[in-house]
Amino acid sequence: MKTIKRIVLTLTLTILSGYLIAQNTSVTEAAYVKSYESEKFGNYDAAINTMKTIYKADSYIANIRLGWLFYLAKQYTESIKYYEKSIALKPYAIEARFGCVKPLSAIENWDKVKMHYVEILKIDPQNTIANYWLGVIYYNGKEFANAISLFEKVITLYPLDYDSVIMLAWSKLRTGQTSEASVLFNHALILRPNDSSALEGLKLIK
């Protein structure tokens, strides 16, 4: 008899637990739907407030969602805070780092932007977006040798990528490699005829 009662109690608790989980899942899904709808109409504060009703500190998706919404609302410090929480929860997920780059760029914290791109490339060395933008940071900092190595990585994978071709051409020109720069500027003109940046570079070589 005790065994039967124990079985019944276990089944009851299992069913109740399943019901509560299903109920919580339904509430969570409804909150995300409402949040997406508010975002669609540019009502970012409402989207944020909706997410906060179901927020859990250990939820990667909730943190990254709030990071995005606070970025859209131009509350960059808050955005960074939530992106950093999502990074801490999943250190090898590069999407959170790419997300964090947005508010950091908005406040022009280039050291931290650079740090995130470096970390992304440790995880995914061939990532073309990180290679390109880190290359741009190096170029703007006049670290042309570093910029060249990164732009070359992108072009090896995507020889027809105009942005990387033109940046590599200028990097080569800045380091006095005029012959290689000329070839690259001409290549850029094939990809984008009459491109003003490529024509300007060729004029400087002549």
Domain boundaries, given as residue ranges, for the chain: 126-206
Instruction: For domain 126-206, say whether CATH 1.25.40.10 is its number.
Output: yes
Q: What is the pLDDT of residue 17?
A: 46
**Rounded to whole angstroms, how far apart are CA atoms 132 and 147?**
9
97-119 per-position pLDDT tens digit = 999 999 999 999 999 999 999 99
Asked if pLDDT for residue 88 goes beyond 90, the answer is: yes
In this predicted structure, the answer to whether residue 52 has a pLDDT above a threshold of 80 is yes
Model pTM score: 0.84
Is pLDDT of 23 > 60?
Answer: no
CB 128 within 8 A of CB 155: no
For 143-191, write each residue's pLDDT tens digit.
999 999 999 999 999 999 999 999 999 999 999 999 999 999 999 999 9
Q: What percent of the chain lies above the pLDDT cut of 90? A: 84
| pLDDT-derived band at 85, boundaries 50, 70, 90 | very high
| pLDDT reading at 21 higher than 90 | no
* Contact (CB, 8 A) for 144 and 138: yes
Q: What is the mean pLDDT of residues 5-13?
A: 47
Q: Which two tokens stand for residue 64?
A: 């990254």
pLDDT of 20 reads: 40
